[in-house]
Amino acid sequence: MAHNDSIDRFPRVLQPWHYTAMLLCVQGMAKREVARHLGKSYQTIKNVMASPLGKAALEQICNKTIDTMREVRTIAQLHAPEMIDLLLREARNGSESSARVRAQIRLLEIAGHGTTHTLVVDHSEVEEEFKDLGEDELRAKLLNKIKPVKDKGPDGSLLQ
């Protein structure tokens, strides 16, 4: 009977949270902390790690032997809800304010509210100067513009 009990404690199929737990452990989080973050018992996390499926998945994660991008995408999709849940918990209840702020910023970025930077470059002067030149004339003029002036350094100051 004890043999069957030990088999029953192992997962038959790995769920998304199993992968999340393994990734967190591989990244250095203690099993007890993983259990707390995922709302599972320490024993459950231990059982997942000790199960044949868990050991095989851990080996793949540690050896980075996930074969195809499809597998990587599938695993990432499986972890996404748990990772967002962890970010939400950290954003609300993180022990350090800097960790809370980082989690909040990351959540905003995921939601599409990240910082945007717009750069507008006005080329009108350059276009006007070079618009009527052929390819050879353009090349000569551009090379002449970047040709170093004798007795002057790159900053324009006189060489000694």
**Structural tokens at position 97:** 């304010």
- Which pLDDT belongs to residue 1? 40
Between the ranges 48-52, 55-59, 105-109, where is the mean pLDDT highest? 48-52
pLDDT tens-digit map of 60-115 = 887 775 555 566 677 777 778 888 888 899 899 988 888 889 888 888 888 888 77
Asked, for residue 122, whether it belongs to a domain, the answer is: no
For CA atoms 26, 77, 115, 117, give the dihedral sign.
Answer: positive
Total number of domains in the chain: 1
Instruction: Please list, residue by residue across 87-118, b when 16 or more beta carbons sit within 10 angstroms of its beta carbon and e when fewer do.
Output: beebbeebeeeeeeeebbebeeeeeeeeeeee
Q: Domain containing 97: what range?
A: 2-110
User: Of the given ranges (13-22, 31-40, 43-52, 149-158), which has the lowest mean pLDDT?
Assistant: 149-158
Asked, for residue 34, whether it belongs to a domain, the answer is: yes
Asked, for residue 116, whether it belongs to a domain, the answer is: no
- Which pLDDT belongs to residue 146? 67
Whole-prediction pTM: 0.39
